[in-house]
Structure 1
Amino acid sequence: MPVERLLPSQEARDLLALTTELARDELAPLAAEYEEAERFPREQFRLLGKSGLLGLPYPERWGGGEVPYEVYLQVLEEIAAAWMSIGVGLSVHTMSCFALVHHGTDEQRDRWLPAMLEGDLLGAYALSEPHAGSDAASLSTRARRDGDQYVVNGTKAWITHGGEADFYTTMVRTSDADVSCLLIDGSTPGLAAGKPERKMGLTGSTTAQLQFTDARVDADRLLGEEGAGLRIALSSLDSGRLGIAACAVGLAQAALDEAVAYAKGRTQFGRPIIEFQGLEFLLADMAAAVDSARATYLDAARRRDSGMSFRRQASVAKLVATDAAMKVTTDAVQVLGGAGYTRDFPVERYMREAKVPQIFEGTNQIQRVVIARTLRDAP
């Protein structure tokens, strides 16, 4: 069922209408086929670029839409409701552009950002490593300065779009004490992607390791100064977590819609099963979880748009929304009963896709750590 949204302008309403039409007509009909075939939807990302949806929260000067984060996240929710892999991919691409937008020089932005925002290029965010996931300060990939280049060696893990991306916003260790950020071209000699991971869900979204072997990266691809990498990574994650929250809400909304439609059409004992109190209450709890999760990401986005601190609210939104998606998709399978356990209906795929948002962009256990520390450190 359509979500009634409070939007700040007619332009925002028009953008949401365009997104809804694109998601319904161009994305949703392909989702099950591509996910089952584990096929990466590169052409669909190009379509988003041509439609102006790959750079929504970034400045118009470089090809972005310059829309409030509150609006961008609702666009993201609509896309994820139609096809979660595309929604997550758009969120990752947006986060991959963050470091250049906020920490690059105008010369760097003029050189690389237009192609990144207008759909010619697809990005990935390379922070995690096999032994440094949530503990970002322990990463070991090294970038040694050699004249006007860095020589990069190491392994990155769990990289969304690994092997598919055109550029990687990559956190590397430039000294024993310093972590720095490099914008690395996907075709760099010495950079290779591993075999895609075999995953429970989001099978249309490629996830792979990246191996750097004496990969030479021009020094002008350093974003910010040496040693700023962890600060850049954490600020990127604050915004990226809101993207994942919005995707999770979209997925939960899709599961709720499917469950309601099935409960209205399924008849037992002479009446639709939605009229039985056991199902009514279950569906009501699902709707309350979706609405509550949406409210958390919108609150955080509005704080971000106002220039307020939103780190705690971003972690709250990511925690609440992804836990809600896991619960709502599981309950949707229950509403459909045996049918929900088959691939004839999408809810079993939604349930599988709901698991990993509780893990990436910082596990939900890490979100609790972030929230607790903001409370501890508050004056």
Structure 2
Amino acid sequence: MATKEAAERKNLMTEQIKKLGKGVQIADEQGDKKLVEGFMADAFKGKASFDEVFPWPERSLKSAKKAEELLKALDKFFREKVNPDLTDESRDIPFELFGDMADMGMFRLKIPEELGGLSLSQTDYGRVISYLTSYYGPMAILVSADNTIGCKFPVWKYGTKEQKDKYLPELMRWPSGFCFTERNVGSDPARMETYALRVKENGKTIGYCITGQKEYTTNAVLTDNVPLAKFLSVVVRIVDNPSEIQTEKDVKKFCFGLFIVPTSSKGVNVGERLDVGLRNEFFGMHGIYNANPLFENVWANPDQLIGGEGNGFRISLQALNTGRMAIASSCVSIAKQCFSGSQNYAEKRVQWGTPIIDKELIGTEKLARQGLCYIFAMDAMTNYASLRFDSGKDSRLEATSSKVFSSEKMWMIVDNNVQIHGGIGYETHKSSSRRRKVFPADRFFRDARPNRIFEGSTQILSQWLVGEGMKFLKPFAQMGTWKEKFLLLCELTVNRINFVRIPDVPRPLRKHLKFVRRKVRKFSNRVLFFAARDMVFLALQSLVDKEDKKKLAREMLTSRQLTLWRLFWIASYLSAMVVSCSRAVHFGADSAVEMADGFCSEARLCIDNLFREFYRNNDRKMRRIADGLKEDRYAWFIHSDILPLIDQLNLK
């Protein structure tokens, strides 16, 4: 009987996952099966694992030395050959600079020395990306898209010796691109329509024919109808018949593959059609080479498939994980640059007899509270995630948290930079620099915005992180053995009664770590409460009618994204507090302790407010209003006194 009940619970759990969409099912099926580890993972279990963060991890001195040499070369390169204003205006990186970048090793940053690369660690790779971003963002995007998610990563990590020998020499001399996104595919791989049709002879696969169109492929097109990348990394569904794209409903049978496709291949179309051959233009990031390549029956040999059939999506997820750390590094760089511009302007700008930095709403609020203290935490989180990755430890939660946290706080700092500069911050740099020397606030404002979308949007990643953090509870939700359940209960109990020693830190930081120790247990209690409630709802679903099942499903944690959002931010703030304290101790400077103390004091207020919101919120009321939006209940008000562009442009 117990086995039957467990099976029923597992089936109900599976149904809940299905209701989230096939994309979630695919991510659950093909993602890393290993449970997440580290301070943040242990926080879900109620344990403040300070020993995961203290002492601050060591970095590779060999890689650091190479990075220093490269940064010196980049400094000279930027000062002598790159003019961000001209490049921003022309929307092109001068073609001759690609050769200089190749000579410096910009297209082989993380490839091991034995394969011809620079063998930079993830930490030092992030420093290079940060440096590029601080001067000219589109150049950082070009390099990051190539090194992180382009062709190099899959070939280096998953390619055979023959594939490495064939592709890497040319890949290390020129940028490549990554093709995943489609018109109906952002974060949902279940809707992918680009496919590779198996071509068989005597029952053996002798090749594939790739058909479909991708969107937003960086490094795809140099100028209209002329490719930039010589190779594209293309993620597709592998099928025996094209009809499977529409007819196959079982996601467990979806087979994804990752192919290395030369842009010179017959059928790779970056020209002729307006929706294919023209570079995508964005209101920011002028100078990135982005387009929507079309694949029309493109032949691919078996040796172009990397990692074998069925591993394409899995490889993409791993590439995107390191990509998130690179995005976080870019965000820290942008935040530092804009903060520096804000501080400089606030010190010089005098209003009513005093510099505006002396005004509380500028110096105290915008610069100290919302600026410097958050930048210190962002920098600590990003470096810690990279150092964990370099040491071979699991860094999935740290990478995701640092990306979301840094991109959200960076945007606040960038917006404050424009606000502090006032009218001249909104004026283009080209226009304002005709009258005076001024910080290019407009360019950073335009270029910074996509970082909240790249490599997974804030909304998607926050939900994913909490889901991964709660996977340790699966033995209860599914068919775990009694032994597994007993051991998990013992672990959770020990975490609550075991005394965790506070690391040796300066006195101002000690109280913050004590706060973390208390709140980690409270956070875990909330997690367990929601998990237990979901189990009750699952049990009730087998007893109620169809309409009540829908109501219960809507109360499940998987459907309550605002609750998941609060859990994400509590976990992120707690982790940020600990890594900030460890980073401050590592620096050994009083000023570092002051910044960490300032951030932790602010984080404590945010955490307490988030806990209160579990009990005091307007979620259900706002949900009813959201339901009314679908019924057009408020259209009479929204469309009054405007000429609706959605009607003029036929967007409905």
Same fold (TM over 0.5): yes
**1:247 lines up with 2:341 in the alignment:** no
1:166 counterpart (209, 230, 235):
230
Unmatched runs of 5 consecutive residues or more in structure 2: 1-57, 201-205, 222-227, 245-253, 271-275, 430-438, 474-652
How much does 1:265 deviate?
Answer: 2.6
1:100 counterpart (145, 148, 155):
155
Corresponding residue for 2:118? 65
Counterpart-to-counterpart distance in 1, 2:96 and 2:465: 38
Relative to 1, partners in 2 of residues 1:273 and 1:331: Cα closer, same or farther, differing over 3 Å?
same
Matches within 5 A, 1:114-125: 114-117=169-172, 120-125=173-178
Relative to 1, partners in 2 of residues 1:81 and 1:65: Cα closer, same or farther, differing over 3 Å?
same
Counterpart AA for 2:74: L
Relative to 1, partners in 2 of residues 1:116 and 1:335: Cα closer, same or farther, differing over 3 Å?
same
Counterpart-to-counterpart distance in 2, 1:231 and 1:296: 25
Counterpart AA for 2:229: A
CA displacement 1:287-342 (0-9 Å, x = unmatched): 22222212111111111111111111111111011112211111100111111011
Which structure's CA Rg is the greater one?
2
Counterpart-to-counterpart distance in 2, 1:190 and 1:251: 40
1:179 counterpart (220, 235, 256):
256
How much does 1:115 deviate?
Answer: 2.5
**1:316 lines up with 2:401 in the alignment:** yes
2:367 counterpart (283, 302, 325):
283
1:132 counterpart (165, 168, 185):
185
Counterpart AA for 1:283: L
Corresponding residue for 1:196? 279
Counterpart-to-counterpart distance in 2, 1:43 and 1:190: 29
Counterpart-to-counterpart distance in 2, 1:10 and 1:309: 23
**1:82 lines up with 2:135 in the alignment:** yes
Counterpart AA for 2:372: A
Unmatched runs of 5 consecutive residues or more in structure 1: 1-5
Relative to 1, partners in 2 of residues 1:107 and 1:375: Cα closer, same or farther, differing over 3 Å?
same
Corresponding residue for 2:454? 360
1:156 counterpart (196, 214, 218):
214
Relative to 1, partners in 2 of residues 1:363 and 1:24: Cα closer, same or farther, differing over 3 Å?
farther
How much does 1:111 deviate?
Answer: 1.6
Contact 1:141 1:152 in 2 (8 A): yes
Contact 1:123 1:168 in 2 (8 A): yes
Relative to 1, partners in 2 of residues 1:363 and 1:11: Cα closer, same or farther, differing over 3 Å?
closer
CA displacement 1:327-374 (0-9 Å, x = unmatched): 111110011111101112411111111111111211111111221111
Counterpart-to-counterpart distance in 2, 1:261 and 1:366: 36
Counterpart-to-counterpart distance in 2, 1:180 and 1:371: 25
Counterpart-to-counterpart distance in 1, 2:363 and 2:72: 28
* TM-score, reference length from structure 2: 0.55
How much does 1:20 deviate?
Answer: 5.1
CA RMSD across the alignment: 2.0
How much does 1:42 deviate?
Answer: 4.4
SS of match in other structure, 1:378: helix
SS of match in other structure, 1:261: helix
Matches within 5 A, 1:338-357: 338-344=423-429, 345-357=439-451
Corresponding residue for 2:91? 38
Contact 1:157 1:210 in 2 (8 A): yes
How much does 1:270 deviate?
Answer: 3.5
How much does 1:224 deviate?
Answer: 0.8
Range moving further from structure 2, 108-117 or 329-338: 108-117
**1:264 lines up with 2:322 in the alignment:** no
Identity rate, percent: 26
CA displacement 1:157-210 (0-9 Å, x = unmatched): 111112222211110111252010001112212112322222121121022111
Counterpart-to-counterpart distance in 1, 2:391 and 2:63: 19
SS of match in other structure, 1:203: coil
Task: From the two aligned structures, give the one with the greater strand fraction.
Answer: 1
Counterpart AA for 2:471: D
SS of match in other structure, 1:48: helix
* TM-score, reference length from structure 1: 0.92
Counterpart-to-counterpart distance in 2, 1:332 and 1:13: 34
Task: From the two aligned structures, give the one with the greater helix fraction.
Answer: 2
SS of match in other structure, 1:355: helix
**1:12 lines up with 2:64 in the alignment:** yes
SS of match in other structure, 1:56: coil
